[in-house]
Amino acid sequence: MHWKDARVRAVICHCKNVTKYDIIAAIDEGARNIDDIKSKTAACTGDPDRTLNPSGRCCCGEVQEMLDFYAPLADALRK
């Protein structure tokens, strides 16, 4: 399931059990890149060759898409 279709409590990072809500909250708290997300949520810190994601791929691409989508919104709301 794509992150846009996922419910707020849906798991995005299966290796570290990080939800869509966790990632959005990290962005709201100032995360603006993958390293920020890693430090705030542990998403994207698993082994990409041994992913637990049912899609068979690491979550980092989806997390980056979420950053690209939500970070500008969070910044606009702060103005």
Q: Which two tokens stand for residue 11?
A: 């798991």
* pLDDT reported for residue 38: 98
Domain boundaries along the sequence of the chain: 11-78
- Average pLDDT over the chain, rounded to an integer: 92
The predicted model scores a pTM of 0.89
Terminal alpha carbon distance of the chain: 33
> How does pLDDT run across 1-38, given as a tens digit for each residue?
688 888 999 999 999 999 999 999 999 999 999 999 99
Angle at 69 between CA 11 and CA 55, to 5 degrees: 35
Find where tokens 């690209």 sit. Answer: 68
> How does pLDDT run across 38-73, given as a tens digit for each residue?
999 999 998 877 778 888 888 999 999 999 999 999
C-alpha distances (whole Å) from 17 to each of 9, 53, 61 are 10, 10, 16
